Amino acid sequence: MPERTYTVAVIAGDGIGPELVESALTVLDAVTSTTPFALRTVAVDGGAGTYQREGAALSDAGLAAVRSADATLKGPVGLPHVRMPDGTEAGLLGGILRNGLDLYANVRPVTLLPGVESRLRVEPGAIDYVIVRENTEGLYASRGKGVGNERAMADTLLVTRAGCERIVRHAFDLALRRSGAPADGVRRVTCVDKANVLRSMYFFRSVFLEVAEEYPGVEAECRYVDAMAQALVMEPEHFDVVVTESMFGDILSDLGGGTVGGVALCPGGNIGDARAYFEPIHGSAPTLAGQDRANPLSQILAAAMMLDHLGEPAAGDLIRGSVRTALASGAIRLRRDGTAEGGTRAVTDAVVGALGS
């Protein structure tokens, strides 16, 4: 009998979501067959398909199931043609889960793995940073709250001192657990903003610099978001932990994904003080759905992040090590567009086959 059992809510999602989640669950089953803990999964319906059937992307019962679980594993959600009356996508769960559960830290690792060819002239290990994106404030706090008419529309960018302080502390605490930037081994947190133009961003930077004084062992620096977009291409090895407002983090994490083989290799965690869910950072890619073509590595790596959060980092490391082994050995081969040769099931089998090797 397992020594401990964790309840995991599972949202399969839309498009390629169900295939990716099935892949991650297969890997998790293989891992937990040899560990002193077990996972009890609870299926939760959510996404664009749910909206079409029920008129809401997530039911009250579904939210309650997520709230009561130890963690949630979520596949990509949303379909481009399923829209709210205001024109925005109807199947997205970010506003429901992130704000509803106060999951203020969106943590997105960007890592160049062995066996993956970057569009940059860098070797594996040269890109290894984490973007910590504020998840409940910023411009996306205006989700569903924009005001205007047929002549003009406005969305408001909001940041608060409490929100800035907690996301910045999360970034510095993460830096303390890491080994520093690849270029020089320095533990470093980079604040990304537009403080030269927007008062809200100057406020974000000011709070960042105040909190930084509490962490004398971590270097603190600031960059404007436009300059940062260039720096993530020109000198990615300089960065360790990056902290920023929600929309800036959303854009920069996709840019970072483009330097490490594509966003199909990038997982993300949405983490609060009491709850968390884990997912790929990419969308549901409906044109690939049902064809056994989607690359499931982002979902598998999201499952590894979930295990870390549950307090089982050795199991998370086992999954990450298996992914690295399968890529380095050529058991998994990626095309330049980020899809995998052999398809979803072949990648899953390769990761399972590399467990413990």
Query: What architecture is the 118-143+155-260 domain classified under in CATH?
Result: 3-Layer(aba) Sandwich (3.40)
Contact 118, 237 (CB under 8 A): no
- Cβ-Cβ contacts under 8 Å for 5 (sequence gap 6 or more): 37, 38, 39, 40
- The full set of domain ranges for the chain reads 1-104+268-357, 118-143+155-260
Query: What pLDDT, on a 0 to 100 scale, did the predictor assign at position 57?
Result: 94
Query: What pLDDT, on a 0 to 100 scale, did the predictor assign at position 357?
Result: 72
Query: What pLDDT, on a 0 to 100 scale, did the predictor assign at position 338?
Result: 79
In the chain, the amino acid numbered 327 is L
Asked about 6 being catalytic, the answer comes back as no
Consecutive 10-residue averages of pLDDT for the chain (357 residues): 93 97 98 95 96 94 96 96 90 90 97 93 93 95 89 95 98 98 98 97 98 98 98 98 97 96 96 97 94 95 98 97 96 87 95 90
Output the DSSP codes for 273-331.
Answer: SS-EEEEESS---GGGTTTT----HHHHHHHHHHHHHTT-HHHHHHHHHHHHHHHHHTS
Query: What pLDDT, on a 0 to 100 scale, did the predictor assign at position 252?
Result: 98
Asked about 45 being catalytic, the answer comes back as no
Single pTM value for the model = 0.95
**Selected catalytic residue, list 6, 104, 140, 277:** 140
Asked about 194 being catalytic, the answer comes back as yes
Domains 1-104+268-357 and 118-143+155-260 share a fold: yes
The tokens 């891992």 sit on which residue?
31
Query: What pLDDT, on a 0 to 100 scale, did the predictor assign at position 143?
Result: 84
Q: Residue 34 class from Cβ within 10 Å (0-12 exposed, 13-18 middle, 19+ buried)? A: exposed
Answer yes or no: CATH 3.90.45.10 is held by domain 1-104+268-357: no
Cα–Cα dist 328/311, whole Å: 28
Query: What pLDDT, on a 0 to 100 scale, did the predictor assign at position 165?
Result: 98
Query: What pLDDT, on a 0 to 100 scale, did the predictor assign at position 187?
Result: 98
Cα–Cα dist 262/241, whole Å: 19
Query: What pLDDT, on a 0 to 100 scale, did the predictor assign at position 336?
Result: 82
- Reading the block at residue 195, the tokens are 């403080």
Query: What pLDDT, on a 0 to 100 scale, did the predictor assign at position 94?
Result: 87
Asked about 104 being catalytic, the answer comes back as no
**Selected catalytic residue, list 29, 184, 226, 292:** 226
Cα–Cα dist 337/194, whole Å: 31
**Selected catalytic residue, list 74, 193, 194, 240:** 194
- Count other C-beta atoms under 10 Å from residue 159's C-beta: 23
Asked about 145 being catalytic, the answer comes back as no
Query: What pLDDT, on a 0 to 100 scale, did the predictor assign at position 225?
Result: 98
| Closest listed residue to residue 244, CA positions, set 140, 109, 139, 133 | 133
Query: What pLDDT, on a 0 to 100 scale, did the predictor assign at position 101?
Result: 95
